């Protein structure tokens, strides 16, 4: 009887620590239109899940990797489709993001500890907090809406700056 009580306690603790991470992605996906969450039973074990949809008319993919092992790192990658050429590099993101809206957007993304990198028609923003952090924590709609708005401003600025002259 004691063993059953200990087992139930362990399951309750694991579930309590895991539940916020499992609710984070569906909550984030509610900010998208035409959304779909891609998480099956295996995602609970692997800690990997994805969501896709559109935001402001741009395709968005969100990848969440929850920490599953002692040396494992959790991360979140928000990717937004851009029309910028695939040859653009990370330094060019800063150089080609112009205007007040674009500069404010870059500041906002940096403020939220997101690292930007380009990738074959996508702008990727990676969030990987270090130290003792309950990752990803509770979903804060205002924070992540601000991130999506900022990514939209950066991708629009990149599209305008790298468009061929008319």
Q: What is the number of domains present in the chain? A: 1
Q: How far is CA 63 from the centre of its chain?
A: 6
pLDDT at 47: 81
Which CATH number belongs to the domain containing residue 64 in this structure? 3.30.1460
C-alpha distances (whole Å) from 105 to each of 78, 93, 127, 147, 157 are 15, 12, 16, 8, 10
Distance linking the first and last C-alpha atoms of the chain: 77
**pTM: predicted TM-score of the whole model, two decimal places:** 0.81
pLDDT at 86: 66
CB 32 within 8 A of CB 55: yes
The sign of the torsion formed by the CA atoms of 89, 95, 96, 98 equals positive
pLDDT in tens, the chain (166 residues): 777 777 766 665 555 555 556 688 999 999 999 999 987 777 777 788 999 999 999 999 999 998 776 667 889 999 999 987 766 777 788 888 888 899 999 999 999 999 999 888 899 999 988 766 677 888 899 999 999 999 999 999 888 877 766 6
List strands edge to edge, sheet with 58-65.
33-38, 48-55, 58-65, 75-81, 122-127, 114-119
Domain extent for 35: 2-162
């Amino acid at each position: 009887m004691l063993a059953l009580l200990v087992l139930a306690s362990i399951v309750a603790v694991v579930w309590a620590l895991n539940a916020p991470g499992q609710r984070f992605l569906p909550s984030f996906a509610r900010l998208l239109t035409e959304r779909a969450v891609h998480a099956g039973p295996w995602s609970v074990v692997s800690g990997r899940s994805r969501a896709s949809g559109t935001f402001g008319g741009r395709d968005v993919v969100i990848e969440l990797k929850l920490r599953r092992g002692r040396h494992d790192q959790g991360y979140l990658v928000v990717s937004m489709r851009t029309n910028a050429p695939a040859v653009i590099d990370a330094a060019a993101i800063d150089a080609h993001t112009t205007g007040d809206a674009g500069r404010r957007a870059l500041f906002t993304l940096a403020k939220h500890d997101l690292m930007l990198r380009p990738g074959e028609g996508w702008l990727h923003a990676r969030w990987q907090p270090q130290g003792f952090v309950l990752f990803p924590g509770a979903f804060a709609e205002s924070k992540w809406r601000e991130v999506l708005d900022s990514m939209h401003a950066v991708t629009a600025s990149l599209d305008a700056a790298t468009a061929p002259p008319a």
